[in-house]
């Protein structure tokens, strides 16, 4: 039997840095840090030598020079005497536009396809399987080019819409599909239109408050108030009333054929449509698989238990299955949104003016400032991606099953 004694005081030896696990981790980290720092210094030194030799010291002042090129699709006013910075902003907005549109439609397509793929209906399930496998296994670039070719080669030119031409407009002469783009009616905002919009937004908020109230009544008293119809009525009726009381301030301008092209209405350019459709269908196929996996991940016992408690099928779905499936669905869904945003850089294939085409394309070629342009583009995408993954991490932490 020995009593525990303090370990003998050992002087620190250099070999402990390697053989003693207490110090080894520090050694490894310091060595790694030194190697990485050396590598970065080496790259930076080379870059500074090369760029000085070429006379291209990093400098962002070119952004405030006149851009001098036109962009075919702009969300905010722009002309070719504006600066490169504004051209880059146009590109960023165009990227966000196609990404936003794509996320909405891809989610719709994906949810519908994912649910239908689980359907008992053999024909529908097989059709969805073909859709999902077909889009997942063929490069997105090919789909974009293919859909763009259909849009430009397979549609009539505006000339064909003239009297005696081969093509005609759809939906009571309001929509024209041409090889220059899709022409649809555009809203015309009259004098009091802001008032209608404000009323509409307020009534949507009102509808949300009604839902909250109905929920509170349900939880407090157990009384079930109707949810969907009253909320819809509250949201729509005031706006419609105000619209007619003010004498219909919001009108529509229809596309009309004048000369060789359409005038009026809203032109949605073919590059945007091709990119949008291809991104939606492609990402939709991935989302369909995510939705399917999420629904399958909820064990059958959950729905059986809910039925045993006497819950109706729709309440089982909304209170038991969906909350559990959502935990599985949401994180990969968000990373699909991220992928879609990054894939929108394939706009280069169809000539859509996204941020890579303006800042990383024409601006880069005109000014020769490759390093600065690529850096800015990289930072833009990185900012979006870090923002979204930050949101996702917060969500994941709040939804995590608590382990030890």
Q: Which residues bind another protein (CB under 8 A)?
A: 18-19, 25, 28-30, 32-33, 36, 43, 46-47, 49-51, 53, 116, 119-124, 127, 133-134, 136-142, 145-146, 149, 153, 342-343, 345-346, 348-349, 356, 360, 370-371, 374, 377-378, 381-382, 384-386, 389, 403-404
Nearer to another protein, 201 or 375 (CB): 375
Shortest CB 235 distance to another protein, Å: 26
Nearer to another protein, 169 or 384 (CB): 384
Shortest CB 95 distance to another protein, Å: 10
Shortest CB 301 distance to another protein, Å: 14
Shortest CB 341 distance to another protein, Å: 9
Shortest CB 216 distance to another protein, Å: 34
Shortest CB 25 distance to another protein, Å: 5
In degrees and rounded to multiples of 5, residue 186 shows phi and psi of: -110, 145
Nearer to another protein, 30 or 217 (CB): 30
What is d(CA 250, CA 247) in angstroms, rounded to the nearest whole number? 9
């Amino acid at each position: 039997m020995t009593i525990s004694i303090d370990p003998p005081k050992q002087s620190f030896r250099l070999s402990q840095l390697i053989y003693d696990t207490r110090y080894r981790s520090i050694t490894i980290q310091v060595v790694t840090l030194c190697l990485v720092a050396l590598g970065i210094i080496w790259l930076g030194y080379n870059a500074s030598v090369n760029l000085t030799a070429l006379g291209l010291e990093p400098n962002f002042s070119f952004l405030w020079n006149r851009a001098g090129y036109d962009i075919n699709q702009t969300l905010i006013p722009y002309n070719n005497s504006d600066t490169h910075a504004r051209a880059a902003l146009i590109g960023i907005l165009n990227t966000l536009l196609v990404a936003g549109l794509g996320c909405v439609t891809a989610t719709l397509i994906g949810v519908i396809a994912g649910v239908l793929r689980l359907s008992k209906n053999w024909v529908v399930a097989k059709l969805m399987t073909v859709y999902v496998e077909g889009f997942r296994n063929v490069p997105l670039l090919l789909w974009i080019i293919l859909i763009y070719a259909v849009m430009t080669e397979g549609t009539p030119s505006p000339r064909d819409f003239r009297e005696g031409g081969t093509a005609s407009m759809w939906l009571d002469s309001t929509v024209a599909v041409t090889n220059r783009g899709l022409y649809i009616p555009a809203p015309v905002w009259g004098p009091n239109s802001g008032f209608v919009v404000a009323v509409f937004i307020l009534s949507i908020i009102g509808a949300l408050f009604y839902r909250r109230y109905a929920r509170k009544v349900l939880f407090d008293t157990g009384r079930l108030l109707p949810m969907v119809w009253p909320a819809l009525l509250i949201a729509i009726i005031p706006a419609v009333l105000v619209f007619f009381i003010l004498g219909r301030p919001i009108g529509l301008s229809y596309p009309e054929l004048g000369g060789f092209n359409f005038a009026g209405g809203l032109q949605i350019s073919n590059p945007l449509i091709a990119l949008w459709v291809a991104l939606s269908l492609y990402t939709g196929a991935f989302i369909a698989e995510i939705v399917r996996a999420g629904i399958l991940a909820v064990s059958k016992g959950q729905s059986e238990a809910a039925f045993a408690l006497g819950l109706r099928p729709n309440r089982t779905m909304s209170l038991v299955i969906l909350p559990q499936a959502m935990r599985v669905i949401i994180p990969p869904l968000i990373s699909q949104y991220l992928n879609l945003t990054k894939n929108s850089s394939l706009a280069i294939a169809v000539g859509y003016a996204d941020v890579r085409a303006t800042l990383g394309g024409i601006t880069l070629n005109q000014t020769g400032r490759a390093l600065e342009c690529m850096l800015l583009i990289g930072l833009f995408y990185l900012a979006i991606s870090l923002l979204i993954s930050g949101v996702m991490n917060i969500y994941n932490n709040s939804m995590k099953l608590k382990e030890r």
